Structure 1
């Protein structure tokens, strides 16, 4: 209810009208199960979208206070999608099947939704319980998922399932991130898939359009740290390590990560 009010939302799409009951909302509620949709025109809408136009607003909890709506423009979204295509070796297309398993409130869903839409892949929507690992693995195997995001908390368990069903897996692209990930764990995945799994570790806040850096894990690269590096900036992105006076730090000296580039959000909705 807070997000509907704060964003000034005028339309809500639901698949059950009961979902909106008990929420004070003055806008239009559109039930997707309403069969009258079949009577509506099916032609494409002719709209001119500019790079600076708003693509989506997604709420992030932040560290204090109420959630804030992050405004992402089309140019930022397009840049992110192009970067993912490049980082996965331009190997995303009509033969792929992308798993959509994240909560809609989590910005990784931007990757899961738009990558298949833009690059012509199939999308499989996971409808089981979020932490039902056996069900998740079952969907990956039965639906022949080739590209998936797997949360850090599930990587170990899913690996154990994969070991038992190794012959059935067609997964060849894996996105990880959000939390630090042990180098040893990704090495196990790489060994299990005999080097045929592209593994990408993404890092970035919601305000930088899902990811601002990425690291392509490869077994022949020497990693001296316990955790996998966050990598280098995405396309049209720059990363600076600054001290408390906003001065660039020397290599190897800790500091605050600052981000610039086309991926930065417009700002927070209804906030200066």
Structure 2
């Protein structure tokens, strides 16, 4: 109800009207089950889309106050999708099967939805509970998923299931993030897959279109720190480490991360 009111939403698409029962919503509710799609036109829509047009609005968790709707433009979304293609060695395409398992309120779903749509991969929609690890692993194995996001809290447990798996694991691309990741944990995955698993650690706030940096794990890189680095800026993105007076910090000196570039959001919806 808060998001509907705060965003000024005028239409809700649903499969069941009971979803918003008891919610103070003054707009239109469209039940998709009531629409005879077979009678609709099938021609391409004649729509002119500009880079600065709004692509989506997704709400923050509200950990620093009330949740805010982050406005992401098409140019930012396109840049993110291009960056992911580059960072996965330009190796995403029709032979891939991307797992869609995250909550729609979590911006990782932007990757899970649009990467397969843009690059021609399949999408497997996981419909179980997120923390039902046996079922999640079963889907990854049986559907021959090749690209997936695995939350840090599940990495260890899923690894144990992979070790005991008695069938082929098709996974060859993995991205992690959200929380610090132990270097030794990614080393275990790399060893299990015998170096045939591309692993990206992604970092960034919702306001930077999912993420702003990435780090590709490589077994030959000597990492002497406990946690996996957040890596380097994505395409058309710059990262600055500043002190409290907005001065650049020398290498190795702590500071605050500041982000610039095409990936930054337009702002927060209905906020100045």
Aligned match of 2:18: 18
TM-score between both structures, scaled by the size of structure 1: 0.98
Consecutive aligned runs of 4 or more in structure 1 exceeding 6 Å deviation? none
Aligned match of 1:267: 267
Aligned match of 2:110: 110
Structure 1 segment 1-272 matched on structure 2, within 5 A: 1-165=1-165, 167-272=167-272
CA distance in 2, matches of 1:231, 1:80: 16
- Per-residue CA deviation, residues 11-61 of structure 1 (Å, 9 max, x unaligned), is 111122211211111222122222523222122211111000000000002
Measured after TM superposition, the shift of residue 166 of structure 1 is 5.8
CA distance in 1, matches of 2:124, 2:33: 20
CA distance in 2, matches of 1:149, 1:112: 8
CA distance in 1, matches of 2:195, 2:167: 15
CA distance in 2, matches of 1:127, 1:53: 32
Runs of 5+ in structure 1 lacking a partner? none
CA distance in 1, matches of 2:249, 2:87: 27
CA distance in 2, matches of 1:61, 1:176: 19
The DSSP-based 3-state class of the residue aligned with 1:57 is strand
- Per-residue CA deviation, residues 168-224 of structure 1 (Å, 9 max, x unaligned), is 200000010000000000000000000000000000000000010000001000101
CA distance in 2, matches of 1:82, 1:66: 32
CA distance in 1, matches of 2:80, 2:261: 11
Instruction: Name which of structure 1's ranges 24-33 and 257-266 shifts more when overlaid on structure 2.
Output: 24-33
Instruction: Name which of structure 1's ranges 166-175 and 105-114 shifts more when overlaid on structure 2.
Output: 166-175
The DSSP-based 3-state class of the residue aligned with 1:168 is coil
CA distance in 1, matches of 2:166, 2:56: 38
The DSSP-based 3-state class of the residue aligned with 1:189 is helix
Counterpart contact for 2:13–2:30, Cα < 8 Å: yes
Counterpart contact for 2:141–2:167, Cα < 8 Å: no
The DSSP-based 3-state class of the residue aligned with 2:181 is coil
Instruction: Name which of structure 1's ranges 1-10 and 101-110 shifts more when overlaid on structure 2.
Output: 1-10
Instruction: Name which of structure 1's ranges 242-251 and 8-17 shifts more when overlaid on structure 2.
Output: 8-17
CA distance in 2, matches of 1:261, 1:168: 41
- Per-residue CA deviation, residues 52-106 of structure 1 (Å, 9 max, x unaligned), is 0000000002333321000000000000000000000000001100000000000
TM-score between both structures, scaled by the size of structure 2: 0.98
Instruction: Name which of structure 1's ranges 118-127 and 161-170 shifts more when overlaid on structure 2.
Output: 161-170
Q: What's the RMSD between the two structures over aligned residues? A: 1.0
Runs of 5+ in structure 2 lacking a partner? none
